[in-house]
Amino acid sequence: MSDRKSLFSRAARAGRTALLLCAAIGVPLFFVNSTWIAARLERLLRLEVEPSFIGGRVLAEFPDPMGDDDGPGGYAYPLGQGRERGELDLVDYIVRRPVSRPIWGDSGAFWQLDAYFAKAVATGLPGGGFRAPVLHVYVQVQAAKPGAAGSTETAFGEGELLRFDPAHPWDYVISADGWSAQAEIRSADGAYRAPVLAIWDIGQRRLSLRIGLEKAPPLLTSVMKGGSTWHYVLVGAYDAARDGHFAALREGANLHDGGGAKDELAPRVFDLLAPPGTCQASELASEDAPAGVFALVEPVEAGGPAPKAYDPELRRRLEAETAKEGLASETDREYRRAALPAPSPADASRIGELFDLGLEDRCLTAIVADLSAKPADPTALAYRGAITAKRADRAAGIAEKVRLVAEAYRDLDAAAGSAAQAIAEDRLAVFICRGSVSSAVPNDVFGRAAQGASDLDEAARIEAGLGDAASADGHLADAAIAYEKAGLRVEAGARWATLAGRKGLPAALRLLLLERGFPIEDRGEDSRRDSR
């Protein structure tokens, strides 16, 4: 009996000791892994911040293509202030539901509109100058009725050199520029003017416009009831001396004026939020200078009927086309494999091709030979990293997978580090390899999705520079997928919107766009004819 008691007492003591050790050692171990633990909690709980803090629930979101900050095409930024491409590039526009009872704020009811840009700098500071974008949002808050007091002309004299769709005359215009915390709203008849809180979040590259509704006229407060509103969203370069602060455009850019205008009525708009299915370039090129007619632009509709679910027949067709494209690509690879010369020292010059054809062992042999001659060759390092990552995918056991991925990144990061001085083709290989691996490995574990997306973006740029538009589009789509994995919704949306504006995309990309709700080019008849 006493033996049993003693055994029990010893077991209890061992248990207590284990408990204590767990508590003591658990604290540092926990903190070492706290990012991972917080990510697990995030995935498990899936909370959202009370929307009224951040401006209200999203009513409608309009991704805008990236890189279209050249108006109708060919516009150049004014040369002063050291502006960089992308600063006038609208990439997303969000219309939020009005907030009737804001929490933790002194303001009453408000309505918030958010515009995201591709690039943002701290403007208004020494060195920042007046390089902030000017944003004008013309809003029609109710469907036009006979005798309604809307306008189809710009609110600012010459202003943007535009006219608005007669079917959607604007009721209010909100004018803001990124360097001031104060924007303004005014009605079409000029009877109502009020300040608007402009919040410029440089980190998020977002300009939020918070429109107070407490003392607003009934027409404006009618947005509280819900229903559709129509928005013309225009971005220009800042020039304090111009009407509406939209910088003028000339044939060639100078310190204050942009360049690329084909005539004196060229719209002063670098980026326009074009409605789905329309084209910014054609809208902004629609002026008739000899007749003295401004370009006509159309609004986007927020809060309208939900977009139609995509046509299952179209999806089925695209899936069939995608399979056909895949088969053609595989056949091509088979042919190239058959045509490949026997292994030789010349393999060192075709590492990329060997990798692409899936000949891993032969590729590795070539890489070893290449690295013995050029130890820091970025292409060889990048492909060796990519092969190691592929092996990680096939490896059994999580520890082994993690070890191999870490090993792959040693090569991939070294390759990226030495790629800056390399030729375009080598840099392309490095960014594709690291971008693809970073996009493929779990972001929760390695946290590389955003970097992968950025690499694939760079690959798309290089590919476009080399003249291969189709491959560039493919990399852009891969970048968008990687941004989605990284939770960077705005960045992903801008890339999908860019692709949605392209013609002649392969079926696989059109299928991806269709799944994300973008209107796509339907080449159904062609496809059926082809299949016959």
- Report phi then psi at 520, rounded to 5: -125, 160
> What would the two tokens of residue 335 be?
């042919």
| 315 vs 489 by CB, closer to another protein | 489
Q: How far apart are CA 139 and CA 110, in angstroms?
A: 15
| 191 is an interface residue for another protein by CB under 8 A | no
The letter for the amino acid at 264 is E
Tell me how many residues contact another protein (CB under 8 A).
43
Q: Are strands 162-164 and 295-297 parallel, antiparallel or unpaired?
A: parallel
CB of 306 to another protein, least distance (A): 23
| Near another protein by CB under 8 A: residue from 4, 5, 48, 190 | 48
| 17 is an interface residue for another protein by CB under 8 A | yes
| 49 is an interface residue for another protein by CB under 8 A | yes
CB of 29 to another protein, least distance (A): 10
Helix (H, G, I), strand (E, B) or coil at 177: strand
| Near another protein by CB under 8 A: residue from 19, 148, 327, 346 | 19
Residues forming beta bridges with residue 208, ordered by sequence position: 114, 199
Q: Nearest-CA neighbor of 173 among 119, 105, 243?
A: 243
- Report phi then psi at 104, rounded to 5: 60, 35
Token match 């082994």: residue? 400
| 42 vs 84 by CB, closer to another protein | 42
Residue partners of 280: CB distance under 8 A and separation at least 6: 65, 68, 71, 72, 271, 272, 274
Residues forming beta bridges with residue 63, ordered by sequence position: 92
Stretch that binds another protein, among 16-24, 60-68, 220-228, 517-525 (CB under 8 A): 16-24
| 42 is an interface residue for another protein by CB under 8 A | yes
| 107 is an interface residue for another protein by CB under 8 A | yes
| 104 is an interface residue for another protein by CB under 8 A | yes
Q: How far apart are the first and last CA of the chain?
A: 90
CB of 66 to another protein, least distance (A): 22
CB of 112 to another protein, least distance (A): 8
Stretch that binds another protein, among 104-112, 183-191, 248-256, 295-303 (CB under 8 A): 104-112
| 103 vs 191 by CB, closer to another protein | 103
CB of 447 to another protein, least distance (A): 11
| 37 is an interface residue for another protein by CB under 8 A | yes
| Near another protein by CB under 8 A: residue from 1, 3, 5, 103 | 103
| Near another protein by CB under 8 A: residue from 82, 105, 326, 504 | 105
| 201 is an interface residue for another protein by CB under 8 A | yes
| 41 is an interface residue for another protein by CB under 8 A | yes
Residue 343, phi-psi category: left (phi > 0), alpha (psi -120 to 50), beta (remainder)? beta
Q: How far apart are CA 470 and CA 483, in angstroms?
A: 20
Helix (H, G, I), strand (E, B) or coil at 134: strand
| 105 vs 358 by CB, closer to another protein | 105
For 427-482, give the DSSP string.
HHHHHHHHHHHHHHS-HHHH--HHHHHHHHHHHHHHHHHTT-HHHHHHHHHHHHHH
| 30 vs 335 by CB, closer to another protein | 30
Binding string, 386-425, against another protein, x = CB under 8 A? ----------------------------------------
| 28 is an interface residue for another protein by CB under 8 A | yes
Task: Output DSSP code: residue 50.
Answer: -
| 195 is an interface residue for another protein by CB under 8 A | no
- Report phi then psi at 233, rounded to 5: -115, 115
Q: How far apart are CA 53 and CA 69, in angstroms?
A: 31
| Near another protein by CB under 8 A: residue from 2, 4, 5, 45 | 45
CB of 135 to another protein, least distance (A): 16
Helix (H, G, I), strand (E, B) or coil at 508: helix
| 205 is an interface residue for another protein by CB under 8 A | no
Q: How far apart are CA 266 and CA 289, in angstroms?
A: 8
| Residues within window 125-144 making contact with another protein, judged by CB under 8 A | 125
Q: Determine the Cα angle at 240 with ends 206 and 177, to 5°.
A: 10
Binding footprint of another protein on the chain (CB under 8 A)? 16-17, 19-21, 23-24, 26-28, 30-31, 34-35, 37-39, 41-42, 45-50, 53-55, 103-107, 112, 125, 181, 197, 199, 201, 203-204, 208, 210
